[in-house]
Chains A and B, each alone.
Chain A
Amino acid sequence: MSTFKVVHYINQFYAGVGGEEHADYKPELRDGPVGPGAAFTAAFGDKAKIIKTIVCGDSYFNENPDEAKKTLIDMIRDCGADLFIAGPAFNAGRYGVACGTICAAVSEQLGIPVLTGMFEENPGAEMFKDKLHIIATGSSATGMRTAVPKMAALGLKLAAGESVGASIEEGYLPGGARVNFFEKERGSKRAVDMLLKKLAGAPFVTEYPMPDFDRVAPNPAVLDITKATVALVTSGGIVPKGNPDRIESSSASRYGEYDITGVNDLTAETYETAHGGYDPVYANQDADRVLPVDIMRAFEKEGKIGKLYNKFYTTVGNGTSTKSSKHFAKEFAKKLKDDNVQVVILTST
């Protein structure tokens, strides 16, 4: 049996280039495995080999998706790969979107089997799980050890053109395609087992999950913005200098509510970002670049808006769970509503 040739895509962080300050790193083709490629090499044994690794900064990819895609496709085209693997990206949002985007492009334009891995809450998972195989991973790099063997196993199947089993067997995120397989127990027994667990209050897994259509219909437009109170909210982590409430730089467990009465401009001396998922230099120089208090104050003075709400709400949207974010916003949205705020401008990094 011949050894499959694999091309592996990773971001600047996993390549050891650097963190957020290097997130604008342009695509680079390297020989052999790099970073997590070593774990894949071990898992593949002699069945497959990483011949090339592509390194690309997360911000570069997401800010220039068309250019990045084109450059990467050109790099991959000449590699003669039997399989393309990206990540795993865990819960890193931009990395996940990059992995999904490039996998979809490689599959579509080059016809090479593709595979990636990410945490189910990664925005890239929602965007691409119905288009490609995404192995379900933990939320952080500590899940590497369990993710790699699953990715390697499915990767080998894809490279060999073997049929792929159901998501529950292979460990990928369900993408909506149905795959038939034989259960060990007959249906009546499984149903009774599930019922007994449910009655006992024990956890059980449904075999027929309801689709999750969590969409909220848009509210009507504001009738007169010149009389409306407008509030600013951000997931970009802007906080008063010193981060008084110690909002975590990632996986935030709390949000901040800060009074901006009389504040006309955010300065390097007074505000900063607590966010650990993007290069903080620009936000720390001038936090208005993320939370635009200066222009909103100007709008207020010019009568373009009624007034700027005297508080802003902020958290760090970096690996923060959907559940926490939902809880934060539910709590402060009620306050905004009670205070008759008519428009919210929410900024994200």
Chain B
Amino acid sequence: MVKEIERAGIPVVHICTVTPISMTVGANRIVPAVAIPHPLGNPALSADEEKALRRKILTTALEAACTEVDGQTIFEVK
């Protein structure tokens, strides 16, 4: 799906846990996630901490969308 969206002319950021799969699939802007059953959350944290974590990952995703890339790039969450 990432490739078809990119092909349609829309930059796409792929947030996923197993980044080697994303590389194989052919995503260009990749942001690593937390875990397979909760990529953008962590049930071990408090509700507020979890939101802060989700915000951090999505901030990285927005930065990725604003960054020119010339090939497949993984944007680590800071």
State the A residues within 8 Å of B (CB).
20, 23, 59, 62-63, 93-94, 97, 123, 126-127, 214-222, 225, 228, 230, 233, 235-236, 278-283, 285-286, 288-290, 292, 294-296, 298-299, 304-305, 315, 317, 325-326, 328-330, 333-334, 336-337, 341-349
Q: Which of B8, B36, B40 makes the CB contact (< 8 A) with A292?
A: B40
Asked whether, in the complex, the Cβ of B71 is within 8 Å of the Cβ of A218, the reply is yes
B12-32: CB near A (< 8 Å → 1, else 0) gives 111111101110111111000
A-B residue pairs in contact (CB < 8 Å), sample of 18: A20-B37, A93-B21, A123-B24, A127-B20, A217-B6, A225-B62, A233-B12, A235-B1, A281-B37, A282-B37, A295-B55, A304-B59, A326-B3, A333-B7, A337-B9, A345-B61, A346-B14, A349-B16
Please classify how large the interface on chain B is, using the bins under 10, 10 to 19, 20 to 34, 35 or more.
Answer: 35 or more
Chain B residues, Cβ within 8 Å of A126: 24
The interface centre, meaning the residue of A215, A222, A295, A346 with most chain B CB atoms within 10 A of its CB, is A346
- Assembly CA distance A131 to B4 (angstroms): 28
- Assembly CA distance A329 to B40 (angstroms): 22
Q: Which residue of A lies closest to B33 (CB)?
A: A347
Chain B residues, Cβ within 8 Å of A296: 58
Asked whether, in the complex, the Cβ of A349 is within 8 Å of the Cβ of B11, the reply is no
A-B pairs with CB below 8 Å: how many?
191
The interface centre, meaning the residue of A283, A288, A333 with most chain B CB atoms within 10 A of its CB, is A333
Asked whether, in the complex, the Cβ of B5 is within 8 Å of the Cβ of A62, the reply is no
Chain B residues, Cβ within 8 Å of A304: 59, 62
- Assembly CA distance A336 to B68 (angstroms): 21
Asked whether, in the complex, the Cβ of B4 is within 8 Å of the Cβ of A333, the reply is yes
Asked whether, in the complex, the Cβ of A280 is within 8 Å of the Cβ of B58, the reply is no
- Smallest beta-carbon distance B65→chain A, Å: 5
- Assembly CA distance A290 to B13 (angstroms): 14
Q: Which residue of A lies closest to B18 (CB)?
A: A62
Q: Which residue of A lies closest to B35 (CB)?
A: A63
Chain A residues, Cβ within 8 Å of B14: 346, 348
- Smallest beta-carbon distance A8→chain B, Å: 23
Asked whether, in the complex, the Cβ of B7 is within 8 Å of the Cβ of A295, the reply is no
- Assembly CA distance A315 to B4 (angstroms): 14
Asked whether, in the complex, the Cβ of A325 is within 8 Å of the Cβ of B37, the reply is no
If the complex has contacts A221-B67, A336-B10, are A127 and B4 also in contact, measured as CB distance less than 8 A? Answer: no
- Smallest beta-carbon distance B49→chain A, Å: 13
Asked whether, in the complex, the Cβ of B5 is within 8 Å of the Cβ of A333, the reply is yes
- Assembly CA distance A336 to B20 (angstroms): 27
Asked whether, in the complex, the Cβ of A278 is within 8 Å of the Cβ of B25, the reply is no
Asked whether, in the complex, the Cβ of A62 is within 8 Å of the Cβ of B36, the reply is yes
If the complex has contacts A295-B51, A333-B8, A344-B5, are A282 and B43 also in contact, measured as CB distance less than 8 A? Answer: yes
**B2 part of interface (Cβ distance < 8 Å):** yes
Instruction: Give 5 nearest A-B pairs by CB, closest first.
Output: A289-B41, A329-B4, A333-B8, A218-B28, A329-B1
Q: Which of A279, A329, A342, A347 makes the CB contact (< 8 A) with B37?
A: A279
